[in-house]
Amino acid sequence: MQYILQTNHITKTIGEKTLVDSVDIHIKKGDIYGFLGPNGAGKTTVMKMMTNLWKPTGGTIEIFGETLTPESYEVLKRMGSMIEFPVFYDHLTGYESLKLHCDYMGYYNHGSIENALDMLGLTEASNKPVKNYSLGMKERLGIARAILSKPEFLILDEPTNGLDPAGIKQIRELFQMLRTEYGTTIMISSHILSEIESISDTVGIINHNKMMKEISIKEIEEMNLSYIELSTLNTTQASFVLSEKLKLDNFKIIEDGKIRIYDSSVSIQELSKSLALNNVAITGLGKKAETLEDYFLKTTGEVEENAKVG
Amino acid sequence: MLKLVKLEWKKNNIGKYIRNAGILFPALCLLTLLVAGDPETGEMSLFIETLSSMSFLVFTSVMLSAFIVSAYKNKTMCLMFSYPIKRQKILISQMLAVWIFNFVALTLTRLLLYGIILLCAHFTSLPILIDFDMTSLGFYIQLIIRAVVTITMSFISLFIGLSMKSSRATITSSFGLIILTQANLGDFAMAENLVLPVILTLISLLFSFLSIHKAEVQDLM
């Protein structure tokens, strides 16, 4: 499998503080990669290193098959990025800001500025100085600038900040269009899972400066994450029935009165029958599916538990 | 490089600085004329040189802080460094953009001031002591050398401003430079001696080098 970007144990320490600890990321060509993590987990730091704004204190980054060095300027031509919040020269208009970008990128393609403005719904505002833009408009202009030169690889740090739900939907559609029509590889970071869940092909979860998991959405779907949730008044007795009478081992007491049964060999009917036969009072029984949200919370939660133990 | 310099002017709103220099000039003119009327003033050229170099040292440092020091602070430098251009080249283009503008402005200002004083000496009864000769080539060579030295010197304040990450430090240090070099500026103003200006320029260039030599490997905070 060809990766457009790959990091090998990148680490960043500033003074005594470790911002990112031995992170491995693999982004496949043509994928939308969701980079997920709570605030302060190290997402921005990783993205700053990928765009060469910061240099890793350890490890290497490979982009387009080349190892990134402080002198790697050519790769920047093939990338579009927006890290943290988009910055502009405020007195320039939206149009002039994009024109300036083209000048510095050495990208001259007739109509591309108009096209980018149009895609982000900024045509009307294009002659207003950026200082009069709202936060959401600046965000849009930042995205317009990042996609303007048709980069092969887009790195966007929290691109939906300051956008309303309709705007978020529009941006998502834009990303999908870029992927299908131009084959653009896109990395999007977010601390809100639902924002990227629906469009990502692969999700990387980072927490406490460490990479927790890299997994494709397909794999998550294929993993046996649907379960039967059983609510009962007597958890101990219920578990006894499950393990001894039904010979199940893949279940978990998640809280007092609630059990999740992951074993797919047993049906709801069988369950309720044997529980009733053994006098276990049932208050609720139903089939459920674990969402990526649960998975995310579980993955990030586990570390916290470990951290507490440590 | 010239293209990069032009882009710097465009994005930093050079029109504003042209206007400000346009405001500064009549003020300098008025001051010069007021002083020219005073019989105790003595050599006119010394006054013009000192006044204009002081003004433009400050003017240059204000521009350097706006073009470069503030760009680090308001993160526009992050944008600049995401372009496929060597960072040192970007920084040099910014320094050049300020340097060229101020070199031209200072030279023009001085030429005009000398011209006005010359006219006044001719057509009014003011007791002006003319100690310069605008018909000699040496006058113009001196004019250019002095402007180069003065404007280049402000790179020392750029270095101080960058290392303290402060626009205020950039501008304040230019006042420091004035105090430190005022006597010298006056001295070499009329001297044919080239040693001092060359040393000053070399020191200034050393500081410019120090300001940018680590740009490629440094993290952009």
Query: Is the predicted pLDDT of residue A10 greater than 80, yes or no?
Result: yes
Amino acid at A171: I
Closest-CA residue of B relative to A96 is B11
Residue B190 confidence (pLDDT): 45
Higher pLDDT among residues A218 and B87, named by residue: B87
- A64 near A2, Cβ under 8 Å? no
- Compute φ and ψ for A164, nearest 5 degrees: -85, 170
**Within 13 A of A212's CA, how many CA atoms are on the CB side?**
24
Give the strand pairing for A258-261 and A226-232.
antiparallel
The region of weakest confidence among A56-60, A87-91, B24-28, B34-38 is B34-38
What would the mean pLDDT of B191-220 be, rounded to a whole number?
82
Q: Distance (Å, rounded) from C-alpha B46 to C-alpha B210?
A: 32
Contact criterion met (CB < 8 Å) for A87 and B78 = yes
Distance between CA atoms of A182 and A163, rounded to whole angstroms? 24
Q: Which of A70, A91, A104 sits opposite B13 (nearest CB)?
A: A91
Q: Hey, of A52, A104, A147, A154, which one would you mutate to test binding to chain B, going by the most B CBs within 10 A of its CB?
A: A104
Please report the pLDDT score of residue A105 as a whole number. Answer: 93
Residue A244 has pLDDT above 60, yes or no: yes
CB atoms A55 and B74 under 8 Å: no
Among the partner-chain residues A54, A77, A87, the one whose CB lies closest to the CB of B79 is A87
Domains in chain A, ordered, with CATH?
3-217 (3.40.50.300), 226-289 (3.30.70.100)
Q: What does the alpha-carbon distance between residue B130 and residue A243 come to, in Å, rounded to a whole number?
A: 110
CB–CB contact A89 B3 (8 Å): no
pLDDT of residue A224: 56
Percent above pLDDT 90 for chain A: 48
The 10s digit of each residue's pLDDT in A146-196 is: 999 999 999 999 998 888 888 888 999 999 999 999 999 999 999 887 778
Q: What is the DSSP code (8-state) at residue A28? A: E
| Three-class SS of B146-209 | HHHHHHHHHHHHHHHHHHHCCHHHHHHHHHHHHHHHHHHHHHHHHCCCCHHHHHHHHHHHHHHH
Q: Tell me, what DSSP letter sits at residue A161?
A: T
Angle subtended at Cα A215 by Cα A214 and Cα A220, rounded to the nearest 5 degrees: 150
State the pLDDT at residue B137.
86
Residue B129 has pLDDT above 90, yes or no: no
Tell me the residue type at A284: G
Comparing CB atoms, the residue among A55, A73, A104 nearest residue B217 is: A55
Statement: residue A299 has pLDDT above 80: no
Provide ipTM, 2 decimals.
0.84
Within a 10 A sphere around the Cβ of B73, how many other Cβ atoms?
Answer: 13
Instruction: Return the pLDDT at A307.
Output: 44
CA distance A231 to A285: 6
Measured between CB atoms, which of B75, B84, B219 is closest to A87? B75
- Least CB–CB distance from A73: residue in B10, B13, B85: B85
A300-310 confidence digits (pLDDT tens): 665 444 444 43
Provide residues of A within 8 Å CB-CB of chain B: 14, 48, 51-55, 70-71, 73-77, 81, 83-84, 87-89, 91-92, 100, 103-106
Burial of A81 (0-12, 13-18, 19+ CB in 10 A): buried
Q: What is the pTM of this model?
A: 0.82
Sign of CA dihedral B189, B195, B196, B199: positive
Which two structure tokens, joined as six digits, stand for B42?
Answer: 């003595």
Minimum distance, in Å, between the CA of residue A60 and any CA atom of chain B: 15
More confident call, B142 vs A32: A32
Question: Which residues in chain B are closer than 8 Å to A14, comparing Cβ atoms?
Answer: 219
Q: What angle do CA A275, A276, A280 make, to 5 degrees?
A: 65
